[in-house]
């Protein structure tokens, strides 16, 4: 009787741990999807705004155009598409797809949303099995590498399930399927009536393992949210500065006062900082 109670309590602990784990993983998934959306949308908006201003500014400094080109390059890195395609598809594939929020990462049609979800995770967390940053790849190579990462590595990797596994994992609560095998343990082998002590011990062990992952997932989510806040802050700063120059500055750069030139230098540095922010990834440390 005592051993049966011990087993049931251990099973309940494991089920509870799995539920909590799945919830925090979903929050992490949503954070990654939101970050991807903000990166693409704010990046596109910033480029359009800056190019619009450059077109009205005679003799604009070369550094201004260079940082815009850098921002375009970083957008290509995280979307796998050239600027012309990003600009054309922003309101359809990238932004609309990413704002699907929970639907994007909670198992809604992997065939339809998989590549976008994969890129969201890959550009937030991952490196390809070759050790190359997925965000440095492009197009199909980036998507394939992203799916392989989600699946635990290339098919040649011991234990890796490759792209097929990555596609399947997009429909799971855990972004890379961390320890979700514990759910099966909680509902299959552990329901046997015999060996209660052994079953209870293993359930507690699995629960302990999963409980230890929860604060790590939460910490990763907080890092993702901080990067998103930084992206928004920089984009908002750039927007306000462009508005200031449009209203107050001369239309010819050689006519700028020293104060205007210094302020434009700060703006250029802010655009560069936004580009660098698009490159940031989060170490899951799991």
Residue 146 near residue 119, CB atoms below 8 Å: yes
Crossing angle of the two packed helices 110-125 and 139-150, in degrees rounded to 10: 80
Confidence tier at 45 by pLDDT (50, 70, 90): very high
Beta pairing partners, 256: none
Span 199-236, pLDDT tens digits: 777 888 888 888 888 898 899 899 999 999 999 999 99
Residue 282 near residue 124, CB atoms below 8 Å: yes
Span 187-201, pLDDT tens digits: 444 445 556 777 777
DSSP code at position 214? H
How far is 136 from 76, CA to CA, in rounded Å?
A: 9
CB-count burial class (<10 Å; 0-12, 13-18, 19+) for 2 = exposed
Confidence tier at 278 by pLDDT (50, 70, 90): very high
Q: Which two tokens stand for residue 286?
A: 């799991």
Does this model's pTM top 0.75? My answer is no
Q: What are phi and psi of 133, to 5 degrees?
A: -60, 130
pLDDT winner (highest mean) among 104-108, 157-161, 171-175, 281-285 = 281-285
* H-helix segments, 126-257: 139-150, 162-169, 181-187, 196-248
């Amino acid at each position: 009787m005592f051993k049966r109670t011990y087993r049931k309590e251990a099973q309940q602990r494991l089920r509870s741990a799995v539920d909590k784990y799945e919830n925090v993983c979903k929050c992490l998934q949503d954070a990654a999807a939101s970050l991807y959306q903000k990166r693409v949308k704010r990046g596109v908006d910033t480029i359009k705004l800056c190019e619009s201003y450059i077109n009205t500014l005679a003799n604009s400094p070369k550094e201004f155009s260079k940082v815009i080109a850098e921002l375009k390059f970083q957008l290509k890195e995280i979307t796998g598409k050239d600027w012309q395609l990003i600009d054309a598809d922003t309101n359809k594939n990238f932004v609309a797809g990413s704002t699907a929020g929970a639907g994007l990462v909670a198992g809604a049609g992997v065939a339809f949303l998989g590549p976008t979800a994969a890129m969201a995770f890959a550009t937030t967390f991952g490196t390809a099995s070759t050790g190359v940053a997925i965000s440095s790849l492009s197009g199909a190579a980036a998507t394939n590498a992203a799916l392989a990462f989600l699946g635990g590595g290339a098919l040649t990797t011991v234990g890796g399930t490759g792209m097929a596994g990555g596609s399947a994992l997009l429909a799971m609560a855990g972004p890379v399927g961390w320890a979700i095998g514990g759910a099966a343990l909680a509902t299959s082998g552990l329901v046997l009536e015999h060996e209660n002590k052994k079953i209870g011990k293993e359930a507690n062990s699995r629960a302990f393992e999963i409980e230890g992952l929860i604060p790590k997932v939460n910490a990763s989510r907080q890092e993702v949210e901080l990067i998103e806040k930084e992206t928004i802050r920089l984009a908002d700063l750039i927007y306000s500065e462009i508005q200031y120059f449009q209203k107050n500055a001369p239309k010819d750069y050689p006519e700028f006062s020293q104060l205007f030139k210094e302020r434009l230098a700060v703006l250029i540095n802010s655009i560069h900082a936004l580009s660098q922010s698009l490159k940031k990834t989060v170490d899951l440390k799991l």
